[in-house]
Each structure stands twice: as C-alpha cells, then as structure tokens.
Amino acid sequence: MFTPERRAILAASLLLALTVGASRAETPNLGKPLDEAAIANWDISILPDGAGLPKGSGTAAKGAAIYAEKCSACHGDNGKGGLSAALVDDRQNTQIAGISASQKTIKSFWPYSTTIFDFIRRAMPFQQPRSLTDDEVYALTAYILAENKLIGAGDTMDAQTLPKVKMPNRDNFVIRFPDRI
Amino acid sequence: MATSRDRDARGKALEAVAGNGLIDRRALLGRGMVLAGAMSAGVGSAAAGAEPLADDPWSLEVGESTPPYQVPSKFEAKVARTLSNPNNEPRNSHARTPHHLLAGTTTPNGLHFTINHGGVPTIDPDKHRLVIHGLVKQPLEFTLEALSRYPMTSRVSFIECGGNSAPMFSPEAMQENVQAIHGLVSCAEWTGVMLSTLLEETGIDPRAKWFVAEGADSPHLSRSVPVKKALDDAMIALYQNGERLMPGNGYPMRLLLPGYEGNMNVKFLRRIKLVEQPAMSVYEARTYSQILPNGKAYQFYFLQEVKSFITSPSLGATLKGPGLYEISGIAYSGTGRIEKVMVSADGGQSWAQAALQEPVLSKAFTRFRMPWRWNGGPATLQSRAWDEAGNVQPTRAEFVAARGELTKPPPVLGFPNQHYNSITSWGVASNGEVKHVYA
C-alpha cells in the first residue's frame, strides 16, 4: 500500500509523463534563441494589409529616374517590356479574356499592391538584389502604380498609403481547395 | 516440365483484355515464359548460320580505374536534362527530366528537374542558417550541424512544378516529347527533419494560420503555406536519395511539402515566419494563380492532382515491327496512393488495368506496366490514373471544359497556365512512328 504522500508523487509524475508524451516528444533543443531585432534584416515579408512595410516613402517622379537607371535595361522604357516582363499595361480594356498567362499584368491581374514592393525589395534588380534602399523601393512602386494609372502621378507611397491602393482584379480569385487552408 | 494447366493459364494470360492488342497484365508475372513461348516457333531456323561468338575488346583488357564518385557510362551521354537557359542569362533556368530514357520510380539526383529563378547559389553549408520566427513563442536559429542531430525521417515523394505539362494547354497536340511536356516532375527519397518537430521547439502562437518560407537564393524566393501542412507532413529535407541535396535542388536544405506545387517546396531554405495571413508573394499572387475560362482565377491551388503518362513508347520512339511490347509509364497523386491505372490502345474506346510496381507509396511515383501486342496498325496509347481518395485523372475533354485551352499553340518553354493533369495520348502509326495526339 502507498502512503497518501507517495500516491500524490506517483500521480504527479504520471501526469508529467503523460503530458510530455502527449504534447512534446523529447527533442534535441539545439536551436539558438534569437530576438526579432536580430532577424530584422532578413525579415522582408510584406503582408497585404501592409504589415512588415518599412519606414520611408517615394513618389513616381523619383521612381522614374531610378527606373531609367536600374530597371529599363530589362523591363524596357517606361515599363513597356523588353527582355523581361512589361510592368505597365496601357491597354484601354484590361479585362481578362482567354486563359493565357500573358494577361497577368500588374494592372489587370495582381490582387495586392504590396506584392510589388515585396518583390522589388527581395529580388530586384536581378543582378543586384537587396541593393535598393527602402525609399527607392517605395519610389519604384509608386512609379509602376502611377504609370498604370492606379494612383495619381503625384501620390506618395509609404507604409500607410501603399496597402490602400485598390487593385482592379482583387475580387476575381477563387480559393481552389479551401479545406487545405 | 510445363503441365497442361500451366499452358492453359499462360494462354489465358495472353488473352486480349481490351481493344487493339492489350494483354492481361498478369502475363507480366510470367513474362519470361510468355516471351519464350512466343519466340519458340522461330528458334530453329533463325539460329542456323549465326556468327560464332567472339570475345569483345573490353573482355581482353583491364578496365578503367575506379573513380571516387561514379558517373554513368559514356554511352549514356544522351540521358540528360534539357536546359531552358544554358548560358545563365538573367531569367529563370529550367532543367527537365528525360522520363523517356528512365525506368523505375526513382529519379537519379543528376537528372532531377530543377527550376531556379536567379541561378544556382553556392551556399557554404557551415554558414547557412534556418530561422523560424514570427508568431512563435521563441524564435530559433538552426545550423545544418544542429539539424543533423535531430530525429530524421525518410520518405519518397514526387515534386512537380505547377507549370509541368503546360504545352498541353495548346489547342492542338504539340509534337514534343515526354521530357519537354512532362519533364518538370521527378521523384526522390528525401531525408530530413519534420518541420513539426522544430515548431514544437519554437512553439506556435494560436493566431498563426500560415507560414512564409523564404530561400537564400538571389530572388529570396518566398511562398506562403498553411500551418496545417506544417503540422501534417512538411519536412526540412537535407538528403536526396541518400546524399546531400543537389545544389539545384536546394542545398543545403529545402522545404518538402509532399504533393504540393513544386514552387512551394522552397529551396535554400533560410527563413520560416509564422503569420496570420498569406503574404501574397509574387508567386502566389501572380504566377501560380490560374486564369479560368470565366475570367476569374484560382488562388492557392497547392495540390498536384492525380496524373499519369506513358513514358514508353512515347514520341521519339519508333516501333520495330509488330509483336509484343510493354507499355510503361508513371502515375502519381498529391492526395495519396495510386489506386489503379487503366491503359487504352484504341484511343479510349476500351481500357484494361495495368500492373502497378510495388511498393505503391503515397505521393510518390508509381510505375505501371501493360503488355501489348502491336498488330502493326495505327494505335493510340493512353493511361488514366485513380488515387486512393477516389480522384480520377480527367480526360482531355473534361479538363478543357473546366479549365479551358489556349487559342493557339504556346512556345514549348512557356507557362501559359498551370496544373494540367489530363490524359496524354501517343499515336502509333503503321510505320511504328510515335506522335503526340489528342484523343
């Protein structure tokens, strides 16, 4: 027979064993703890609501100059396309017709303006990714949006204004397998 | 000595089970006997007058020295990937698997398809780190050395680019081989640490519904993945068919999401951030959203659905006269195991069940085989797969009705749309030539 005291200890260790067994298999714990400040330089994900957008701002006028210097060699004069995709769609009617991906221009297809900032900052220019300042990325984003007539020519893009830009095709998406999310 | 019962069984096995010469798949079990039986009639006459066997030169001299890392025979040089960007111009680089030259279910590492969006990075494994942060209780950084001490899992999994088979959106069958059409899918055994194990250590904030995975390559490729997948079967893969990952496949570590669109299996993985909502990175917001005939577009397709295609015979092959052939191909599904594969030699008028090579693994290549006696006339070869969840590979008509087709043939290297999984048809002409057809 166990004394009440021993029984309590046994019950406690059994509970501990069950808890450990059920929710937390023993793992090596070899990860090095970091704080978000240490990760900040890598943390370049921008969410559609603007979360993650850095300080800074830019206008189309500033963006035009940066574009001519660092982007036009591949994307063509004024974003009309060249070796790489066109960034500006000046068709009157940008309605999707047919299933070809050639219609997936920023203006006709992209659902969120934040994607432009996110992609430029992480991947462009192709030969020197991560070389642009945040102000330059805002300016290029403003330039592309303004050339596509999605914002006014003088509008400033920053962490507050960019997520508010309404993209024309935003509501035309259907989640393929909702149960997988 | 063969008994009369054996002969009856053999005769039955050789019976046609569907139109245009398909033979019961059970004939494959006793294939040696079947072939011996089929050939025996001509043995006497053909054998007379044959050249006496002589020793070949390689049998009379000492061979080459043994290399530390062996590569295929020089006679196999044509078994190679085809490259979309051999000079590394500033754009994506695709390398396609030559399925028509391979057998079995494992893609050799040197032939595994790759797509890279800014060249293949040269990553020092001792300096590479994986950071997990965002909506976690404790952000953590893992080195390769640290991960190498974690409990490992091995699983065989196919990876398929969401844009694989895109030439089949063409309104007419493009005369391209199985490598050009279906070369952006491969299958390997991946070994690594389950992502759920690492998330147990970081802890998960209940608000986290997605994670953003990001690579250390120059475009810092990033994709959003539901946390649901992380807790199901997502792996941080460190090994590919037993050796460290190939550089083009994500060395030194990649995300493996069995059954999900290749692009989501982020290579050179350096960061995982848990978040409440998807980031709508360019690859999910634009590239891997599929325009539908009604002008809307699918978003978050993720799944590579049930699919199969015949690899032999296929375009580029020429049959050398009537007789017995083996139709062989690959089937797979992002949903689970392949349940069955049906084969037709008459363009879908009649079907017979193919033999499946064991083991049939979930979300992995399954090799199917079908004995076929070609009578020398026109034939249209097709395969159609079912998975264990009851999903069936659509016919081309069904697929086009739901997803549409282009108005004119696309460039063969283009990606006009994605997630094509309908039936592939190979037309065999009377001269033995194999073409791509729609049937």
Instruction: Pick B417's closest partner by Cβ from A36, A44, A101.
Output: A101
**Which of B129, B130, B131, B276 has the highest number of chain A CBs within 10 A, making it the mutation to test binding with A?**
B131
Contact (CB<8Å) A173/B289? yes
CATH number of the domain where residue A71 is located: 1.10.760.10
How far is Cα B195 from Cα A121, in angstroms, rounded to an integer? Answer: 27
Q: Using the 3D structure, point to which of B239, B273, B298 is the last residue of a domain.
A: B298
Span B307-339, pLDDT tens digits = 999 999 999 999 999 999 999 999 999 999 999
Half-sphere exposure (Cβ direction) of B185: Cα atoms closer than 13 Å: 37
How far is Cα A145 from Cα A150, in angstroms, rounded to an integer? Answer: 5
Q: Say yes or no to pLDDT of A115 above 60.
A: yes
Q: For residue B214, is it within any domain?
A: yes
State percent of chain B over pLDDT 70: 93
Nearest CA in chain A to B220: A122
CATH number of the domain where residue B220 is located: 3.90.420.10
Q: Say yes or no to pLDDT of A1 above 50.
A: no
Contacts of B404 (CB under 8 A, 6+ apart): A98, A99, B169, B292, B293, B417
Structure tokens at B176: 């391209």
How far is Cα B60 from Cα B63, in angstroms, rounded to an integer? Answer: 9
How far is Cα B23 from Cα B46, in angstroms, rounded to an integer? Answer: 26
Instruction: Pick B141's closest partner by Cβ from A34, A46, A98.
Output: A34
Q: What is the pLDDT of residue A92?
A: 86
- Output the pTM of the full model: 0.92
Q: What is the pLDDT of residue A94?
A: 87
Q: For residue A107, is it within any domain?
A: yes
Query: What is the 8-class DSSP label of residue B305?
Result: -
Q: Which chain A residues touch B119 with a CB distance below 8 Å?
A: none
Q: For residue B237, is it within any domain?
A: yes
Here the ipTM equals 0.91
Residue B236's H or E segment, with its range, is strand B235-240
Nearest CA in chain A to B140: A33
Instruction: Pick B220's closest partner by Cβ from A97, A129, A176.
Output: A129
Instruction: Pick A45's closest partner by Cβ from B140, B201, B212.
Output: B212
Is the Cβ of B417 closer than 8 Å to some Cβ of chain A?
yes
Contact (CB<8Å) B303/A176? yes
Q: What is the pLDDT of residue A5?
A: 54
B134 and B276 share a domain? yes
Q: For residue A17, is it within any domain?
A: no
Q: Say yes or no to pLDDT of A98 above 50.
A: yes
Write out residues in chain B with pLDDT < 50, as ranges: 1-4, 6-8, 33-43
Identify the residue whose tokens are 């309605």.
A95
Q: What is the pLDDT of residue A23?
A: 52
CATH number of the domain where residue B394 is located: 2.60.40.650
B142 and B262 share a domain? yes
Q: What's the total number of domains in chain A?
A: 1
Its domain, for residue A121, covers: 45-175
Tell me the residue length of chain A.
181
**Identity of residue A39:** I
CB atoms within 10 A of CB B60: 7
Work out the minimum CA distance from A174 to partner chain B, whole angstroms. 5
Its domain, for residue B417, covers: 307-437
Q: What is the pLDDT of residue B1?
A: 42
Q: For residue A103, is it within any domain?
A: yes
Q: What's the total number of domains in chain B?
A: 2
How far is Cα B260 from Cα B335, in angstroms, rounded to an integer? Answer: 9
